[in-house]
Structure 1
Amino acid sequence: MTGTTGEPVGHEHGHVPGGLPGADSGGIAFAGRHLDAATFAGDDGRSDPALVDALTDLTRVGSPEHVRRVMDLLAHARVLVPIVATPSSAAAARHGVEGEDFDDSAQMATVTLTAPDGRRAFPVFTGVEAVTAWDPQGRPTPKLMPEVARTAVEEGCDTLLVDLGSPHAAVLRLPHLWALAQERPWLPPHEDPVVKLAVAEAAQGIDGLVRARAEDGTALHGPGVLRLVLVLRPGLDQRDVDTIVTLVGERLAAEPEVRIRIADLAVALHRGEAGEPAPPSGEEDDEDAV
């Protein structure tokens, strides 16, 4: 990812990806959710040892249980956002012109990182030492994690980078970001009642599809992957199968509240008879990653 500065501090974007203007996907306004500086009076800027330990365990194991522990701690954590000085556009335009003084007045801006594919990430840090180790010029600004998550959403980011450059650096994906922003507990997608209900509803009324269920895809597909098991009527040709998979995917993608709760999806196809129980999840499948 390449580094870029965000909008000057205090800038309002006016829209939130996947939501209403100025609101989260639940219709709750982001604007005005700011903290008084007195909130952090007496904060010495040190990292929370419990949070660092949880991040370290997450980088070593990466199980849903470790993700849940990190998310529970972050939900109430004070984090530090690096603020950097950037030359004003007018000053930058004049810089280097012979005979004209350079006004190096600067605006203070947050930092976002942009991947080659355009995805944007928002770096946050648990302590002052972590900030200065990453960028000695960054000014650590304390904020509560939910406020930072809402800022990241407003900036169009889909990833949070925690303690970037440290041995316990962690990458939190879109579902984690939105859970923090909405101040709700994070659940693995296969346990999330919103996702489970959406999967059940997406399977309704599709000819050839017996049923669908959500499973943990961590072991077979990687951390954070939802395994969507589709039980199909025998005798379908490839075109029928492709149509079913596409239709279920489109129905899930049409629900904004579902999209922000699923980072990655893998589809597993089972052949069965209508009314028969689906084969055990460990049995051989025909699988498509989507």
Structure 2
Amino acid sequence: MSERKLPGHIADALATAGGAADSANWPWAGRDLGPEGETVHQFGNDDGTSAPEYLRTLDELNEGRGTESDVVAQLATVRLFVPIVAEVAESAPGVNSLATDKESDMAMVSLRAPDGRKALPVFSNVLNLERWHPQARPVAVAAPRAALSAAAEDAQLMVIDPGASQTFVVRRPAAWALAQQLDWTPSYLDERVQQAVRRTVEDLPEVAAAGITAGSGVASKLADGRTVAGGGPGPELRIDVTLIPGLDERRVHSVVNELQTRLASDQAFVDLVDSLEIKLNASSIPNAF
């Protein structure tokens, strides 16, 4: 009876196994691969569930007893999971003309927000990640490290638990504060933003008053239909503008364009505000300055 031959792709894989080095050509010699020699993973005893303190802060937000800034502050102490997927960087022909993976890269997954901006998905627990992307590998990182990764990937948003019963979006200024482990104040409550708006309108004679409040995109919805005051992707800030009576449509457009141009050139404003909407009012507004 003739000897059965292994399929070509299996034979190729076995031929390269058992060498003195791993697939990255890093020698096995001198490496301790046991638990005591593991130095890469910070979370060796992690059970993969959501941090109780993060869930507690979300509950307080959902019940109206907490704020989105409380959630971001709590995230500074929390472990998250970043989804990583394998991508073939280079392939080569094997025996029987079957292609084999010669090199592969591990890459983070990214999303596109409704407004087109890049977003980094992260997860509070492994189960949510596996449901969202079964082929992704969960990599545990501290939340500030995840925020740094978002900045490195030029992601404007960090989206926690997309597709789960509650998704919380960390917008750009909050993500950057988290990456630097600094306190974050939402732009609609920040005195520095109020001052920037004052500077912008103080010499615009057509503007009778201006005030700031939370934008329409700050709120988010839970799977059960409830709306909570935080965790939305934006617009983050709303500027209510009251113009003097008697302006025609062309002049109104000109004033609004000038307002937007001035704000875009104010670096402090740009750093503190993720996204903006302007609402024109026909009469005086609350909290005007």
TM-score, normalised to structure 1's length? 0.68
Consecutive unaligned residues in structure 1, runs of 5 or more: 1-35, 273-277, 283-290
> Cα distance, 1:203 vs. partner?
1.0
User: In 2, are the aligned partners of 1:150 and 1:181 still within 8 Å (CA)?
Assistant: yes
The counterpart of 1:109, out of the listed 92, 107, 110, is: 107
Residue 115 to residue 38, structure 1, CA distance change in 2 (3 Å): closer
> Cα distance, 1:170 vs. partner?
2.4
Q: Write the mapping of 1:71-110 to structure 2, written as runs, cut at 5 A.
A: 71-88=72-89, 90-91=90-91, 94=92, 99=97, 101-103=99-101, 105-110=103-108
In the alignment, which residue of structure 2 is the partner of 1:25? none
Q: Rg larger in 1 or in 2?
A: 2
Aligned residues: 237
Mapped to 1, the partners of 2:81 and 2:110 lie a distance apart of 14
Q: Write the mapping of 1:182-197 to structure 2, written as runs, cut at 5 A.
A: 182-197=180-195
1:243 lines up with 2:259 in the alignment: no
> Cα distance, 1:219 vs. partner?
10
In the alignment, which residue of structure 2 is the partner of 1:47? 50
The counterpart of 1:130, out of the listed 128, 131, 137, is: 128
In the alignment, which residue of structure 1 is the partner of 2:10? none
The counterpart of 2:239, out of the listed 228, 234, 237, is: 228
In the alignment, which residue of structure 1 is the partner of 2:154? 156
Consecutive unaligned residues in structure 2, runs of 5 or more: 1-38, 221-231
> Cα distance, 1:265 vs. partner?
2.7
Residue 115 to residue 68, structure 1, CA distance change in 2 (3 Å): closer
Mapped to 2, the partners of 1:152 and 1:175 lie a distance apart of 12
CA deviation string 1:175-224 (max 9, x = no partner):
33233233332223221122111111111322322342222345999865
Partner SS state of residue 97, structure 2: coil
The counterpart of 1:255, out of the listed 266, 277, 281, is: 266
Residue 198 to residue 65, structure 1, CA distance change in 2 (3 Å): farther
User: In 1, are the aligned partners of 2:211 and 2:287 still within 8 Å (CA)?
Assistant: no
Q: Share of identical aligned residues, percent?
A: 33
CA deviation string 1:249-284 (max 9, x = no partner):
111122344234334433233457xxxxx44469xx
Greater mean alpha carbon deviation, residues 72-81 or residues 208-217: 208-217
User: In 1, are the aligned partners of 2:57 and 2:66 still within 8 Å (CA)?
Assistant: no
> Cα distance, 1:143 vs. partner?
1.4
CA deviation string 1:143-171 (max 9, x = no partner):
11122112112212122221222212223
Mapped to 1, the partners of 2:96 and 2:115 lie a distance apart of 39
TM-score, normalised to structure 2's length? 0.68
User: What is the CA RMSD across the aligned residues, in angstroms?
Assistant: 3.4
